[in-house]
Amino acid sequence: MSKVRVLVGTKKGAFVLTSDGKRERWDVNGPHFGGWEIYHVKGSPADPNRLYASQSSGWFGQVIQRSNDGGKTWDAVGNKFVYDGVPGTHQWYDGTPHPWEFKRVWHLEPSLTDPDTVYAGVEDAAMFRTTDGGQNWEELSGLRGHGSGPRWAPGAGGMCLHTILLDRAHPNRIFIAISAAGAFRSDDAGKSWKPINRGLKSQHIPEPEADVGHCVHRIALHPKRPDVLFMQKHWDVMRTDNAGDSWREISGNLPTDFGFVIDVHAHEPDTIYVVPIKSDSEHYPPDGKLRVYRSRTGGDQWEALTNGLPQSDCYVNVLRDSMAVDSLDPCGVYFGTTGGQVYASANAGDRWAPIVRDLPAVLSVEVQTLA
Amino acid sequence: MIRVILPPHLVTLARVTGEVQLDLTGPVTQSSVLDALEARYPVLRGTIRDYVTLQRRPFLRFFACERDLSHQSPETPLPDAVAAGTEPLVVLGAIAGG
C-alpha cells in the first residue's frame, strides 16, 4: 500500500510525519536537530530514502545533514559554501555596494536522477551543487556572474535563492527564483543564466518593469507541462506559457494577490493553489480566515477552500517553501504555518485537517509519495 | 593534554559526551587548539570559526581561567593552566533572549 512521508522544517528542528495512503492517521517523528533552524528537508526522487536537510543557527552557522534511511538516522556532510573567485558586491538596502556573504542554505533540490547530486539555493543569493552526496559543494557561479548580480538587492527577509525547479523533460533546464532579484533560467545545466521577468510589474522598485529586482516569492510547475510556470510574487500571481519568456497576471478574484506559496495539483496541470496573505506588513490571512484558494482554470478564477481551516481569529503566515502535494489519487495537498500547524487535505483541498497543531513555526513542507 | 568544553549543540553535533581532550604538540593557542579540534571532529568545521577567514563566529566566545579571551589574537598563547590541562578552554554561545 502507498505511504506518504511529510518532511517538515521548523524554526527549532525537523519533523517527519508518516501515514498510509488514506492519510487519516499520522505518526510524528522528531524533533531532529532540536533547537536548530531547519530551512528545508527534501528527499531524492531517485532514492526516496536519501534525504537532505539544511540545518542552521545564528551561533554555529550552516550544517548539512543527510539520511540514507528515510530520516531515521542522519549524518552531517559537507558545509563549506565558499563563493567562486572574488565574490564581488550586490546592492545593499541603502543602494550601496555590499560584499557577497554566505549566510545559510534556504533550499535543497536533489537531482531527479542521481541521489548524490543536489542543488542548494543560498543567502546571499547563489547556487551551489554537490555531486558526491553533500561532501563537497561548488558554486554554479554563472548565475551571479551573468551580469545583473551587482544590481540585486535583499528583500526584508534577506537576499535568498529560495526556489529551484528541475525539468524532467529538459534535463539541462533549471529555473530558480531570488528575493528580491526575480526568476532566472538556465538551459545548460547551470553554466549560464538569463533573467526571465518580462511581464512582471513591481511598483516598489524604481523601474516597475525592470529585467531584475522583482520580489518573487515562489514559482511552481507541473512536470508534464514544464513550459507553464506559476508564480506568487510579492504582489501578483503570475503565469507563463513559454518557460518564463513572458508572464501575465492571473490574480483574478483573489481577496489579495500577496502571498508566499504556490503549488500545482499532481494530476491536473491547470489546478493551482495559493494562500492569500494580507500585506504589506501584516503577513496574516485577511479577516483572520485561513483560506487556501484553488483555481481549476490555470488562474484568474479562484475558489476559497475553507472546510476544516480556522475561519476566525487566525493570524498565522504560510511561508514560501511550506506547501507541497503528494502524487496519490486523489491528490493530497499540505501546508505548514508559522503557528506550528501542518494541515493536510487528502482530496485536493476540499477538506482539511491538521496533522499536528503545535510544532515550532514551520519554515518548509515537502512530501514524498512512497510505493 | 588540552581540555575543551563545547556548547551543548556542538557536543550533540560532534557526538561527544562531556569535555573534549586533545593532544597537542607545539604552542597552545586558540588557532592550534581549534585546528586540532576540527581535525578530530571535522563536523565542527565552520561552526566555531569562519571557513575562509578563520575568524570566530560573532555569537561565540572563548573563556578560560575566568577570563574572556575572545578578542585575543588567535596566535596568542593560551594561559599556562590551559596548556597544562588543569583548566579547560570554554567555547561558549551567547545567551539568547525571547
The CATH number that applies at residue A78 is: 2.130.10.10
pLDDT interval class at B63 (50, 70, 90):
very high
Q: What is the pLDDT of residues A32-57, one digit of tens each?
A: 999 999 999 999 999 999 999 999 99
CB contact under 8 A, B51 and A80: yes
Residue B97 has pLDDT above 80, yes or no: no
> Would you list which residues of chain A are within 8 Å, Cβ to Cβ, of chain B?
35-36, 57-63, 76, 79-80, 82
Residues of A in contact with B94 (CB under 8 A): 59
Q: In which domain, by residue range, is B6 found? A: 2-93
What total number of domains does chain A contain? 1
In this complex, which of B9, B51, B52 lies closest to A60 when CB atoms are compared?
B9
CB contact under 8 A, B47 and A60: yes
Residue B98 has pLDDT above 90, yes or no: no
Average pLDDT estimate for A226-246 = 98
Q: What is the pLDDT of residues A268-306, one digit of tens each?
A: 999 999 999 999 889 999 999 999 999 999 999 999 999
State the pLDDT at residue A255.
Answer: 97
Average pLDDT estimate for A165-183 = 96
CA distance B43 to chain A (A): 7
Residues of A in contact with B93 (CB under 8 A): 59-60
Q: Percent of chain A having pLDDT more than 90?
A: 95
From CA A9, how far away is CA A342, in angstroms rounded? Answer: 11
State the pLDDT at residue B94.
Answer: 86
**ipTM rounded to 2 decimals:** 0.95
What total number of domains does chain B contain? 1
pLDDT interval class at B95 (50, 70, 90):
confident
| Residue B91, φ and ψ in degrees, nearest 5 | -95, 120
pLDDT averaged over chain B? 95
From CA B5, how far away is CA A324, in angstroms rounded? Answer: 42
Grid coordinates representing A343? Answer: 494541515
> In Å, what is the CA distance from A152 to each residue of A101, A281, A326, A346?
13, 22, 34, 40
Residues of B in contact with A63 (CB under 8 A): 13, 43, 46-47
CA distance B80 to chain A (A): 28
Residue of A nearest to B13 (CA): A76
Q: Are A80 and A14 in contact (CB under 8 A)?
A: no
Residues of A in contact with B48 (CB under 8 A): 60
State the pLDDT at residue B52.
Answer: 87
Residue B36 lies in a domain: yes
CB contact under 8 A, B60 and A59: yes
| Residue B31, φ and ψ in degrees, nearest 5 | -60, -50
Residue of A nearest to B51 (CA): A80
From CA A148, how far away is CA A141, in angstroms rounded? Answer: 13
In this complex, which of A35, A57, A76 lies closest to B43 when CB atoms are compared?
A76
| Residue A230, φ and ψ in degrees, nearest 5 | -115, 145
CB contact under 8 A, B93 and A60: yes
Q: In which domain, by residue range, is A279 found? A: 3-370
State the pLDDT at residue A371.
Answer: 85
Dihedral, CA of residue A189, residue A195, residue A199 and residue A203, to nearest 10: 140
pLDDT interval class at A156 (50, 70, 90):
confident
pLDDT interval class at A321 (50, 70, 90):
very high
The CATH number that applies at residue B29 is: 3.10.20.30
CB contact under 8 A, A60 and B10: yes
The separation between the first and the last C-alpha atoms of chain B, rounded to the nearest angstrom, is 38
Q: What pTM was computed for the model?
A: 0.97
Residues 6+ apart with CB under 8 A from A199: A238, A240, A246, A247, A248
Average pLDDT estimate for A82-98 = 93
**How would you list the strands of the sheet with A248-249, edge to edge?**
A216-222, A225-233, A237-240, A248-249
Average pLDDT estimate for B15-27 = 95
Residue A1 has pLDDT above 90, yes or no: no
Tracing cell 542554505 back to the chain, one arrives at: A105
From CA A76, how far away is CA A347, in angstroms rounded? Answer: 37
Residue A111 has pLDDT above 80, yes or no: yes
